[in-house]
Amino acid sequence: MTLVIDGRKIASKIKEKISLEVKNLVSKYGTTPTMGTIIIGDNKESELYFKLRKKASSEVGIKSEHYRFSGDVEEGEIIEVIEELNSSEEIHGIIIQQPIPEHISLRRLLLRLSPDKDVEGMTPRNLGKLMIGEEDIIPCTPLAVLRILEHVNVQLKGANVAIVNHSPIVGKPLAILLLNRNATVSVCHVFTRNLKEHTRKADILITATGVPGLIGREYVKEESVVIDVGISKTKKGICGDVAFDEVKEVVSIITPVPGGVGPVTIASALENLMKLYKRKVGEEK
């Protein structure tokens, strides 16, 4: 029988641990862990994700501050705010909410963001440490995928893994994480020929394309593990990359959309924020 992973339960366990940590550390140091979020423009999906993360933060005792800008804001103005937040004693971690307008370079913003306040693990230093096996602040979605695989005790050593995404936010850092755990990883993307040939060999298939129902039954190996990171809004509602009902019949473990990777990604952001906070107050190095 196929195991359908409940991401909300996994996220709840992570948040329970964080909530206890927050209570103990606030009592000990007298400062509340605080997340600063920079929001540029008006994107409904981005706004929803921010609200969900703010709600989750509140549930565990983490304070949220946000800094809103119109979609036509100059890049220099955003950089000024980033530098102010970098030096703020009250802000322990920063998220630049994506997507951002095309006239603003995310790369340049990340170059100005202090690695010591980089909640999403996207600065060059944090990605570089991941590359050489010194995992520190791990990008939130890859960390969420790892937490899910750990939760269900999936063996990574020696496993054949296919990742359908090669973005610097998901596919690339996730590939490095899995290579660090001795998996054999294939990274697929829009120019990959014969996608099925790669996905059908995978013991673990992780997809994050944003194409609704792309991965049908014919794309998966029987008794494999399927992690659906994709999310799309359609006339029928929210769905992922995977044709869930048909794929569920042949695999051993699968994540649903919604309620799979998403809640764990939010919990992973809180986990990263707490790591940065503990370093700031001297609880960790």
Q: Per-residue pLDDT tens for 244-255? A: 999 999 999 999
* pLDDT at position 236: 87
Distance CA 166, CA 206 (A): 11
Structure tokens at 90: 């009250």
Q: What is the DSSP letter of 219?
A: G
CATH numbers and ranges of domains, the chain? 31-114 (3.40.50.10860), 140-262 (3.40.50.720)
What's the alpha-carbon Rg for the chain, to the nearest Å? 19
Structure tokens at 119: 């909640």
The residue length of the chain stands at 285
- pLDDT for residue 17 is more than 80: yes
Q: How confident is the model at residue 28 (pLDDT cuts 50, 70, 90)?
A: very high
pLDDT at 44: 87
Spatial separation of the C-alpha atoms in residues 237 and 256, rounded to whole Å: 13
Say whether pLDDT at 285 is over 80: no
Residues forming a β-bridge with 254: 4, 226
Do the Cβ atoms of 10 and 145 come closer than 8 Å?
Answer: no
Whether 186 contacts 264, CB under 8 Å: no
Residue 284 pLDDT grade (very low, low, confident, very high; cuts 50, 70, 90) = confident
| Owner of token pair 């496993």 | 159
User: What six digits make up the tokens of 118?
Assistant: 């980089």
Quote the pLDDT of residue 119. Answer: 99
The mean pLDDT of 16-24, rounded to a whole number, is 98
215 DSSP assignment:
B
The sign of the dihedral angle between the CA atoms of 90, 38, 227, 11 is positive
* Interval 78-137: pLDDT, tens: 999 999 999 999 999 999 999 999 999 999 999 999 999 999 999 999 999 999 999 999
On whether the pTM is more than 0.85, the answer is: yes
* Token representation of residue 69: 């800008």
Q: What is the pLDDT of residues 186-244, one digit of tens each?
A: 999 999 999 999 999 999 999 999 999 999 999 999 999 999 999 998 988 999 999 99
* pLDDT of 122: 98
